[in-house]
Structure 1
Amino acid sequence: MSQQLRAVIIDDETNAREALTNLLKLICPEVEICGEAKNADLGIELIKKERPNLIFLDIQMPGKSGFEMLSSFEKVDFGVIFTTAYQEYAIRAFRFSAIDYLLKPIDPEELQTAVERFKSKVGSVNPQQLQILQEQIETTPSLRLVQRKKNDNQRIALPTAEGIHFVQMTEIIQCESLGSYTKFHLVKGPAIVVSRLLKEYEEILDNYYFFRVHQSNIINLEHIKRYVKGDGGQVWMSDNTEIEVSRRRKDEFLSLLSDFYVNSGKLK
């Protein structure tokens, strides 16, 4: 027998609430909708009254935003799946924080996957995840930044089978492809292996000083000790590993490396 989940939907659009309710009845009958709310204040009352396992929450609503609503709870002891009309840059933000989201109009398969993922971990959202998500959305006002952001003070959430690791970007030396997994090599402690493709992290890290030098490696430019010229060349990293630079990526890499040194003040 499948596990029964109690859920609420908080969204200012009536059509969006109805569409999601109908999809859940059809695709996820184990999810019982025990209430709906059209704004954050009503959502707070509904959550306190019904104490659901899971909420489907819109980010942008009149009055309080979804973030402001969540911040009113001393402890977020329920799961959250955000529903949003945001596009590419916000998707990067959700991946950064490892929080589930559904793009409107909601795709049935993605809804089913999100619910199954929640059931497999059955837990609340970590406050650090919400903070990372909010920081990313608020500091990325356009689809693609003209200038890359420095890695300083930025954290990324890395979901593993054991739980979520919160890692400072400056601590990441490189990301290595292991088939359908990505291995994060860190300055301190053991490497972290995440069940996501390297391609996903290439997109997530695109606005920072990380670069995919080869189909198997994304490197943190802060941790380059030296570059050795060659057909594509090689980089020596701070942990003394040597990584090949693909010939077709060489020019773009050297251009970004120059940009990094200029903007970081390390160019002498």
Structure 2
Amino acid sequence: MQQTLRAVIIDDETNAREALTNLLRIICPEVEVCGEAKNADQGIELIGKEKPDLVFLDIQMPGKTGFDLLASFEKVDFGVIFTTAYQEYAIRAFRFSAIDYLLKPIDPDELRAAVDKFKSQAGSINPQQIQILQEHLDPAKAPRLIERKRNDNQRIALPTAEGIHFVQMTEIIQCESLGSYTKFHLVKGPAIVVSRLLKEYEEILDNFYFFRVHQSNIINLEHIKRYVKGDGGQVWMSDNTEIEVSRRRKDEFLALLSDFYVNSGKLR
């Protein structure tokens, strides 16, 4: 018999609350919706009263936001799945923070997957995850599609079986594909292995000074010691590893490398 999960839905749109409730009844019958709220203040009261296992939380609501709601709790000891209408850069922001989300209108398969993931990794959200998410959802801070953003002062949340690691992007030397996993090689400490494809991190890091030079490697341009010319060429990284540059990616890589040196003031 499946364990019942007690959940609440906090969203200012009546139709959105009804639609999610109906989907949960059909797709996730083990989830019991024990209450709904239409704003953050009501949501805070509801969570205090019901002590749910899981909260489906809208980000944008009149008055206080979903972030304000979470900030009101000294400890977030319940699971959170954000529901949002954000589209443009939301996916990158949520992946950066390793927080689960559902884009509206909610897809039944994605809802099932999100609930299953919560059940397998039941736990609270770290405040640092919320901070990273807010930073990347801020339109003023979001990089334009035609621009690269400096890696300085940027953090990324890396979820592993042991927990979530918060890493400064300047500390990442390279990301290496290990089949269905990605291995992060860092300046300090042991490498971190995440159960996600390298392709996903290619999309996440696309607006920063990282580049996929080969099928198996994404490198941080800040950690290149030298480039050796060749068919595609090779790069020597700050940890003395040598990485091949694929021939088909060579021109794009060299153009980005030149751009990096100009914008970082590291002209050579």
Q: TM-score, normalised by structure 1?
A: 0.97
**How many residues get paired?**
268
Separation (CA, whole Å) in 1 of partners of 2:73 and 2:261: 43
* Match of residue 256 from structure 1: 256
* Match of residue 82 from structure 1: 82
Return the letter of the residue paired with 1:129. Answer: Q
1:37, 1:46 within 8 Å by CA — same for their partners in 2?
yes
Q: Once superposed, what is the RMSD of the aligned Cα atoms?
A: 1.2
What runs of 5+ residues in structure 1 fail to find an aligned partner? none
Separation (CA, whole Å) in 1 of partners of 2:163 and 2:115: 18
Separation (CA, whole Å) in 2 of partners of 1:197 and 1:87: 22
2:132, 2:156 within 8 Å by CA — same for their partners in 1?
yes
Return the letter of the residue paired with 2:66. Answer: G
Alignment of 1:25-174 (within 5 A): 25-139=25-139, 144-174=144-174
* Match of residue 200 from structure 2: 200
Secondary structure at 2:225's aligned position in 1?
Answer: strand
Distance apart, 1:29 and its partner CA: 1.1
Return the letter of the residue paired with 2:84. Answer: T
Distance apart, 1:121 and its partner CA: 1.4
Larger mean CA deviation between 53-62 and 136-145 belongs to 136-145
1:89, 1:140 within 8 Å by CA — same for their partners in 2?
no
Alignment of 1:205-244 (within 5 A): 205-244=205-244
Distance apart, 1:189 and its partner CA: 1.0
Separation (CA, whole Å) in 1 of partners of 2:139 and 2:87: 15
What runs of 5+ residues in structure 2 fail to find an aligned partner? none
Separation (CA, whole Å) in 2 of partners of 1:217 and 1:3: 41
Separation (CA, whole Å) in 2 of partners of 1:216 and 1:122: 31
Separation (CA, whole Å) in 1 of partners of 2:91 and 2:145: 14
Secondary structure at 2:123's aligned position in 1?
Answer: coil
Return the letter of the residue paired with 1:177. Answer: S
**Once the two structures are aligned, what percentage of the paired residues are identical?**
86
Separation (CA, whole Å) in 1 of partners of 2:29 and 2:249: 48
Distance apart, 1:142 and its partner CA: 6.2
1:89, 1:144 within 8 Å by CA — same for their partners in 2?
no
Deviation track 1:182-218 (CA, whole Å, cap 9, x = no partner) reads 1101111111111100000000001110000011100
Distance apart, 1:231 and its partner CA: 1.1
Separation (CA, whole Å) in 2 of partners of 1:228 and 1:215: 19
Residue 185 of structure 2 is aligned to residue 185 of structure 1 = yes
2:135, 2:141 within 8 Å by CA — same for their partners in 1?
no
1:54, 1:79 within 8 Å by CA — same for their partners in 2?
yes
Secondary structure at 1:33's aligned position in 2?
Answer: strand
2:177, 2:197 within 8 Å by CA — same for their partners in 1?
yes
2:227, 2:234 within 8 Å by CA — same for their partners in 1?
yes
Distance apart, 1:141 and its partner CA: 6.2
Distance apart, 1:267 and its partner CA: 1.1
Return the letter of the residue paired with 2:217. Answer: N
2:11, 2:58 within 8 Å by CA — same for their partners in 1?
yes
Deviation track 1:147-205 (CA, whole Å, cap 9, x = no partner) reads 21111111100011111111110110000011111110111111111110000000000
Distance apart, 1:146 and its partner CA: 2.8
